[in-house]
Structure 1
Amino acid sequence: MLPSVALLSLLAAAPFTVVATPTTPTTPPKDVNPFLGKNYYANSHYSKELDQTKVAFLKKGDLLNAARVTTVQRTGTFVWVSNVAGLSGIDTAIAEARAERPGDSAGEFSSANGGLQRYKTEFVDKFAKAVSSAPDLTFAIVLEPDSLGNVITNQGIPFCATASPFNGEGIAYAISKLQFPNVSLYIDAAHGGWLGWADNLPLAAAEFSKVLKLAQTFKKGATIRGFATDVSNFNPYIANPRANYTEWSPSYDEKNYALSLAPFLQNASVPHHFIIDVGRSGLQNQREEWGDWCNVKAGYGERPTTDTGSDIVDSLVWVKPAGC
């Protein structure tokens, strides 16, 4: 399989004010934004990685940038679970989220040697068990960044063509196993510069629909909240100004990508809410080509918020920790 990566964000289940969380969670209305009224969990592992940076600023007497590092450390960031060994990170995150509440490994699950079955039993099942142990928390989970993007656009590459059925079934199985009332699932939908071109939009919607229907064969009624875009990438949520290399694309920024993809998803009866990774998109137009993705010096983007200006965008988030 392609990199077997799931992303997990823990959101404190109580509102910002001190309100007790019900011991037994109730199923939320289907069209309520799961991020509203929640605290975004600040990933302690990422925070610790920034300690050295803060110390360096303090040694130079640069109190302003040291304070900025502290702000980043306190900003909600998704927990990246990339392999079986990383599953213990879920337990750590759950424990920390409760404490804070007011009051890919390409080789590990290769398609050879029973990789798909191992992915299901050794990774997804254990991941789902860990999540199910915390019914008092609210989870937003992004499934398998880049996997379906490669399925949709890279069928001419033998490796990707061979991996496609495994990726589709693996993601469908994960959807079916994570049908908990306190979980909102977002399938990774790459980004506007990848799947947002006019020719790719209907292909993307068709593939996403196929995967969701397959999930429903594993568990009747299985569903998702929507899609995550721009994970690990540098596209702005709202381009100002629009980059020259986006001239022929309707998806010249991530907001327009969501708006462009949504009608195709709706026509395919697929849920069409979005979260957008903006953790690396602070400075716009820092590259010459849309395909430039390695260490683009775009800086930190807007901090996570539900103030998105769009009914279909649930939240701006930091999925990929900036600088990692």
Structure 2
Amino acid sequence: MKFSKSATLAFAATAVAAPSATTKEQPSKRQAGCASAVTLDASTNVFKKYTLHANNFYRAEVEEAVNLLSDSSLASAAAKVADVGSFLWLDTIANIAKFEPAVADVPCNEILGLVIYDLPGRDCAAKASNGELKVGELNRYKKDYIDVIAALLKKHNKTAFALIIEPDSLPNLVTNSDVQACKNSASGYRDGVAYALKTLNLPNVVQYIDAGHGGWLGWDANLKPGAEELAKAYKAAGSPKQFRGFATNVAGWNSWDQSPGEFASASDAKYNSCQNEKTYVQTFGARLKTAGMPNHALVDTGRNGVTGLREEWGNWCNVNGAGFGVRPTANTGLELADAFVWIKPGGESDGTSDSSAVRYDSFCGKPDAFQPSPEAGQWNQEYFEMLLRNANPPF
């Protein structure tokens, strides 16, 4: 959807994929963990010391994809994707079972990325990635989800973890305040995010809270309320020591530093000064600092290797023609940006294009969305191969 010049139009749907099926994977035989308990200094960029771990669940998906390639000439390049560090999504209570297998092969010089993503009434402005918990099930979120993850983080205190907290949640409250489902979810989102930040504030953890992207909270009218919404959650959690800042472009498509920006020629571009994620990190980061919150960022570059594909900023579902982007690195060229990381597992669908499905979202049927596509979180072999062919830089 185009945003109005007042920048208060709802961001009608989210950019994140939803639950992937729990899978079984035997960890590799590498030595895991450190000799003693890990303590991360969240006042520093830990990605300069630790490499993002290539978790064995995404590795298994990619290795299977190599076996299914329609073009055997892609095999060598495809195999390299398995070695790229990426975040593991703990997006249902059942998928917490992925935690310990994923930890089993994390060496001491690597950090395991986890996405915390199961709020009651999750993704209140979308259908494709709705969650398992209903509005009002906050106690279950706390006890059966966050508390269980916290116990596992404590148990595995010899491993370093980077957490992305609840993609799309607080940004939805900024731009979709007039959507009834978001009104119903608002108090649970705020309470749940604060509880997650406070409970997961552990020495071996560094935390980042999701802040949408430049085409969402980057609109001039959204910057101040967006920063204040996130800062309130941080302060409600007691200003946790292990909190580092914010995550941008999660499962997104925006360029890091394209100039002029992808939508710079749009009629309403003058109302959004954040035409790329670099500008957004700087601009929104300054607002966060003013609001009293740590303001360093992680930027998802997993699928932003090709731009100019979307008809509008808000088109988030399985963008056709996309390619893998820059591999995880702490060399961003910007002090506020801690690292480029792969948060969305490239190849897992954002949502189904089957209009008869219960979870069908119209954004997944738009002309710029890849079709056919399966349910959110399910593997799409053809899409993976497209990402690989269009990778920038290439594999």
**TM-score over 0.5 for the alignment?**
yes
Structure 1 residue 228 corresponds to structure 2 residue 250: no
For residues 278 and 308 of structure 1, the distance between their equivalents in structure 2, rounded to whole angstroms, comes to 11
Selected match of 1:300 from 320, 324, 327: 324
Instruction: Verify the 8 A CA contact 1:5 1:144 in the aligned structure 2.
Output: no
1:272-291 equivalences under 5 Å are 272-291=295-314
**Cα deviation code 1:146-169 (max 9, x no counterpart):** 111111111101110110110010
**Matched residue type, 1:24:** A
**Cα deviation code 1:266-298 (max 9, x no counterpart):** 111100000000101001111221122221122
For residues 197 and 18 of structure 2, the distance between their equivalents in structure 1, rounded to whole angstroms, comes to 14
Structure 1 residue 319 corresponds to structure 2 residue 343: yes
Aligned-pair CA distance for 1:185: 0.4
SS at match of 2:104: helix
SS at match of 1:228: strand
SS at match of 2:344: coil
Selected match of 1:23 from 36, 44, 67: 36
Selected match of 1:33 from 36, 45, 57: 45
Instruction: Verify the 8 A CA contact 1:26 1:181 in the aligned structure 2.
Output: yes
SS at match of 1:164: helix
Aligned-pair CA distance for 1:242: 2.1
For residues 145 and 17 of structure 2, the distance between their equivalents in structure 1, rounded to whole angstroms, comes to 9
For residues 223 and 205 of structure 1, the distance between their equivalents in structure 2, rounded to whole angstroms, comes to 19
Q: Give the number of aligned pairs.
A: 301
Selected match of 1:143 from 165, 171, 175: 165
- Structure 2: unaligned runs, 5 residues or longer: 1-13, 20-30, 111-117, 123-129, 349-395
**Matched residue type, 1:25:** V
Please identify, of 289-298 and 118-127, the stretch whose mean Cα deviation from structure 2 is larger. 289-298
SS at match of 1:125: helix
**Cα deviation code 1:193-244 (max 9, x no counterpart):** 010011000001110111112111xxx7555210001111111111145223
- Structure 1: unaligned runs, 5 residues or longer: 7-17
TM-score by length of 1: 0.86
2:281 is aligned to 258
Structure 1 residue 72 corresponds to structure 2 residue 86: no
TM-score by length of 2: 0.71
2:54 is aligned to 42
Instruction: Verify the 8 A CA contact 1:4 1:109 in the aligned structure 2.
Output: no
Q: Structure 1 residues 323, 240: closer, same or farther in 2, change over 3 A? A: farther
1:190 is aligned to 212
Aligned-pair CA distance for 1:70: 1.2
1:49-60 equivalences under 5 Å are 49-57=61-69
Alignment RMSD: 2.6
Q: Which has the higher helix share?
A: 1
**Cα deviation code 1:78-118 (max 9, x no counterpart):** 000111100011111111214997xx464532123xx0111
For residues 275 and 119 of structure 1, the distance between their equivalents in structure 2, rounded to whole angstroms, comes to 25
SS at match of 1:225: strand
Q: Percent identity?
A: 34
SS at match of 2:299: strand
Aligned-pair CA distance for 1:34: 1.1
Q: Structure 1 residues 157, 60: closer, same or farther in 2, change over 3 A? A: closer
